[in-house]
């Protein structure tokens, strides 16, 4: 840990598609490079891709995320992508929720008034006010959220209450939903996974007229006391970020009922999952391709966990004496 309390994490994110028939051509878009943010720096990022793509390049999408675009032309049965990132996080001290402005004022500031201009922050926020593929604006969401947003409730306090209520009233259940389960069903069934809770919370906030975006990334998990950390047992995570005039964007994690401060790493953000899925592609041929995903996020000090059998890629992670794994 450095002087300002910064912590470093090493993240390995493996994706493996096994096709039941050979794929002749494939294009993939990957959003696997952690964003550069005031409190988050990506110190290194490497990609290992098999087979070798014919063409690859990076560009920045409409939300500011870095996208790696790949084109494969040779026939293959398996596509394997390993992203390894070393990220430094400066712990975040969240603003006191009670000190934020009343939520109605935030809403009114974001509403359109003829001829009234928007500063850069409000203009950016305006992109996250409306419906998107997985986020709906409907009465039932506003009604669900209203209990936490009585008149003049400070915005961040209201969001915090909403997050905690979702955590309390919804059951984490990977079997309950799929990628296409509408958020309206999630509200009725009260079950889902992090992605569902994020979409649900976004629907509630946007139905109130607030600006909120979907964040994808990683979260540090803690193995049970006395147990070793399992490699590949983690997954990508999703949470939300709310625009609070004056304070900027503040993250909330409804799956874990807390405000991310130092154990979340942000990959990308967008209106919802559809904008920023970590891997998205089009293949010709092939079939039956649910990917296997293995994510491991460890504090830098534990990097040996990731390389029990071999040296780490030297170019990517300069070895230091205390962290060098056994040869």
Instruction: Catalog residues that contact another protein under the rule CB under 8 A.
Output: 21-22, 24-25, 27, 29, 54-55, 57, 59-63, 69, 71, 73-75, 112-120, 123, 126-131, 137, 139, 270-271, 275, 280-282, 285
Tokens for 163? Answer: 């997050």
86 touches 140 (CB < 8 A): no
Cβ proximity to another protein: between 128 and 317 the closer is 128
Rounded to a whole number of angstroms, the minimum distance from the CB of residue 19 to another protein is 12
Rounded to a whole number of angstroms, the minimum distance from the CB of residue 275 to another protein is 6
Pairing of strands 191-192, 171-172: parallel
Q: H helices within 63-182, ranges in order?
A: 103-110, 120-126, 139-146, 155-169
Rounded to a whole number of angstroms, the minimum distance from the CB of residue 93 to another protein is 31
**Residue 107 vs residues 129, 165, 201: alpha-carbon distances, Å:** 10, 21, 16
Tokens for 311? Answer: 């040296």
For residue 269, what are the β-bridge partners?
Answer: 215
Cβ proximity to another protein: between 39 and 280 the closer is 280
Cβ proximity to another protein: between 3 and 120 the closer is 120
User: How many Cα atoms occupy the beta-carbon half-sphere of 178 within 13 Å?
Assistant: 2
Rounded to a whole number of angstroms, the minimum distance from the CB of residue 24 to another protein is 4
Distance CA 234, CA 273 (A): 18
Cβ proximity to another protein: between 179 and 233 the closer is 179
Cβ proximity to another protein: between 127 and 291 the closer is 127
Rounded to a whole number of angstroms, the minimum distance from the CB of residue 197 to another protein is 23
């Amino acid at each position: 840990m450095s002087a300002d309390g910064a912590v470093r994490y090493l993240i390995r994110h493996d994706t493996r598609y096994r096709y039941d028939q050979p794929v002749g051509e494939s294009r993939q878009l990957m959003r696997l490079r952690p964003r550069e943010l005031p409190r988050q720096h990506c110190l290194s990022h490497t990609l290992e891709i098999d087979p070798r793509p014919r063409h690859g390049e990076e560009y920045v999408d409409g939300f500011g995320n870095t996208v790696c675009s790949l084109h494969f032309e040779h026939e293959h049965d398996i596509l394997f992508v390993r992203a390894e990132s070393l990220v430094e996080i400066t712990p975040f001290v969240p603003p006191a929720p009670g000190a934020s402005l009343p939520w109605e004022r935030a809403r009114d500031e974001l509403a359109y008034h003829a001829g009234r201009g928007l500063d850069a922050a409000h203009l950016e926020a305006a992109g996250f006010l409306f419906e998107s593929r997985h986020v709906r604006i409907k009465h039932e969401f506003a009604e669900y959220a209203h209990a936490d947003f009585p008149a003049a409730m400070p915005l961040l306090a209201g969001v915090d209450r909403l997050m905690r209520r979702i955590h309390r009233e919804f059951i984490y259940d990977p079997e309950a939903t799929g990628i296409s389960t509408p958020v309206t069903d999630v509200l009725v069934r009260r079950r889902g996974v992090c992605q569902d809770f994020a979409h649900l919370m976004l629907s509630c906030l946007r139905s109130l007229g607030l600006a909120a975006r979907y964040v994808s990334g990683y979260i540090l998990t803690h193995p049970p006391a006395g147990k070793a950390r399992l490699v590949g047992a983690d997954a990508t995570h999703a949470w939300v970020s709310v625009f609070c005039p004056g304070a900027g964007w503040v993250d909330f994690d409804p799956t874990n009922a807390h405000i991310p401060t130092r154990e979340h790493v942000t990959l990308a953000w967008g209106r919802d999952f559809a904008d920023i899925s970590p891997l998205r592609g089009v293949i010709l041929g092939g079939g039956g391709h649910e990917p296997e995903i293995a994510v491991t996020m460890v504090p830098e000090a534990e990097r040996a966990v990731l390389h029990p059998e071999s040296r780490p890629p030297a170019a990517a992670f300069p070895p230091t004496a205390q962290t060098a794994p056994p040869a």
